[in-house]
């Protein structure tokens, strides 16, 4: 994706020159847009400025602006459909405003962007290697993905009970977990009366860090790595083009996988599988190498107490599938990884207002958060605006604990 974070007049002038050569029938409009902070609680501080992006949903091109006095003037923007996102960060707060699918076809098409403020989570998804790799013989190698979770805050955090998983595709027209009243529907067809907008439904396995609540303490500036398979993947019998994951801190191995032939690294603790009803379990956990909505969350109640819901067809009043419904208030972080700039994102924009991607599948490339600043303790603080378009660098060669991030102190005990 090309990003044009330049002055509005310069960006539009370039587009006008290009457009006049390519399509003389294209129309252009001037917009005056304000940021609406009316929903803030009284104790929420107000940022000085917002970064606002317009992403053309057909081309993937991005126009970027900075607000002045809570407003932007967008001059001569080409007609089209845009996803508009406003972000800012101040102290412990992230600020996010989104207008999805804004149709720009007049000077009055868009005049305000409502913004909400949320406190940042200390724990963030720092790096993900999902694209997998190829062997020297050019065969696909699917076993070497990993996730790195980082303590981005100023205080130590116990990660016992922390969960990871993949959301259902909320951009798909065929996915709908709400009945006519907007409530979840149980997998058996009974209606829950629970607001669907308060939950996020998981379409795959969910993994949970073990421990008794005070087992795994993650200090500021430390990260832990979860590997699908904690082994040295560069070994000659595997893939010399891959990465050594034998030093991972956890792996996603369970009894069902072992029964189907996966080798368990006994030196690396296993995560607990907490969606036992998954019907398509294979011999290894392999998150999508193409497109997914990945979330990090900490459950406020036992997984056994959460609703198991179905995908509800409003027209036919039928229910299919089984999904674990996660309270949205329990979600700490999320990232959309997608095929390319025009691929729809999976997660709702309140969790991730953007999306990120590498150059293809099996390309041995990862995504990693950008460094925002250095903390007083000397460790990096990573950018976290709830917008992965802005927050992540892409097309990186996988590297565990990039930027000299520390391993968890529990490994030295």
The string over 53-75, giving b where at least 16 C-beta atoms fall within 10 Å of a residue's C-beta and e elsewhere, is bbbbbeeebbbbbebeebebebe
Q: Is 391 helix (H, G, I), strand (E, B) or coil?
A: helix
Residues of the chain with pLDDT under 50: 1-22
pLDDT number for residue 83 = 93
Instruction: Identify the CA nearest to 371 among candidates 169, 221, 147, 249.
Output: 221
pLDDT number for residue 413 = 65
pLDDT number for residue 296 = 95
CA atoms within 13 A of residue 77's CA, in its CB half-sphere? 31
CB 148 within 8 A of CB 382: no
pLDDT number for residue 39 = 86
pTM of the model: 0.79
Residue 11 is given by DSSP the state H
pLDDT number for residue 214 = 86
pLDDT number for residue 91 = 66
pLDDT number for residue 304 = 86
Report H helices in 23-155: none
pLDDT number for residue 44 = 83
pLDDT number for residue 16 = 47
Tokens representing 246? Answer: 């034998």
CA angle (59 as vertex; 115, 295 as ends), nearest 5: 50
Tokens representing 243? Answer: 């990465």
């Amino acid at each position: 994706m090309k990003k044009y974070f330049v002055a509005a007049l310069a960006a539009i002038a370039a587009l006008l020159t290009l457009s006049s050569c390519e399509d003389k029938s294209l129309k252009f409009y001037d917009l005056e847009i304000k940021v609406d902070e009316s929903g803030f609680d009284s104790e929420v501080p107000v940022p000085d400025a917002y970064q606002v992006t317009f992403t053309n949903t057909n081309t993937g091109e991005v126009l970027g602006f900075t607000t002045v006095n809570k407003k932007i003037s967008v001059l001569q923007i080409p007609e089209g459909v845009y996803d508009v996102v406003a972000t800012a960060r101040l102290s412990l707060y992230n600020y996010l405003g989104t207008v999805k699918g804004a149709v720009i076809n007049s000077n009055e098409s868009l005049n305000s962007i409502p913004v909400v403020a949320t406190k940042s989570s200390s724990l963030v998804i720092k790096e993900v290697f999902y694209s997998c790799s190829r062997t020297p013989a050019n065969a696909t190698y699917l076993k070497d993905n990993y996730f790195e979770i980082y303590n981005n805050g100023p205080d130590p955090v116990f990660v016992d009970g922390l969960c990871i998983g993949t959301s259902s595709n909320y951009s798909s027209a065929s996915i709908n977990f709400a009945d006519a009243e907007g409530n979840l529907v149980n997998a058996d067809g009974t209606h829950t009366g629970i607001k669907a907008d308060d939950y996020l439904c998981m379409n795959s396995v969910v993994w949970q860090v073990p421990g008794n609540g005070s087992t795994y303490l993650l200090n500021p500036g430390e990260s832990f790595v979860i590997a699908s398979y904690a082994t040295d993947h560069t070994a000659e019998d595997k893939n010399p083009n891959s990465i050594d994951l034998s030093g991972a801190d956890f792996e996603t191995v369970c009894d069902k996988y072992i029964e189907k032939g996966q080798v368990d690294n006994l030196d690396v603790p296993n995560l607990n599988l907490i969606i036992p009803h998954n019907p398509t379990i294979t011999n290894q956990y392999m998150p999508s190498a193409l497109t997914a909505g990945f979330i990090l969350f900490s459950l406020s109640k036992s997984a056994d107490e959460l609703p198991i819901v179905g995908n509800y067809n409003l027209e036919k009043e039928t229910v299919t599938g089984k999904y674990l419904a996660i309270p949205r208030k329990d979600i700490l972080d999320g990232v959309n990884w997608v095929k390319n700039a025009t691929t729809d994102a999976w997660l709702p924009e309140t969790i991730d207002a953007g999306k990120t991607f590498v150059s293809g599948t099996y390309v041995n490339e990862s995504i990693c958060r950008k460094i925002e600043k250095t903390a007083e303790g000397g460790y990096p603080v990573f950018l976290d605006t709830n917008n992965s378009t802005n927050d992540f660098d892409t097309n990186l060669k996988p590297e565990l604990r990039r930027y000299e991030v520390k391993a968890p102190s529990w490994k030295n005990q």
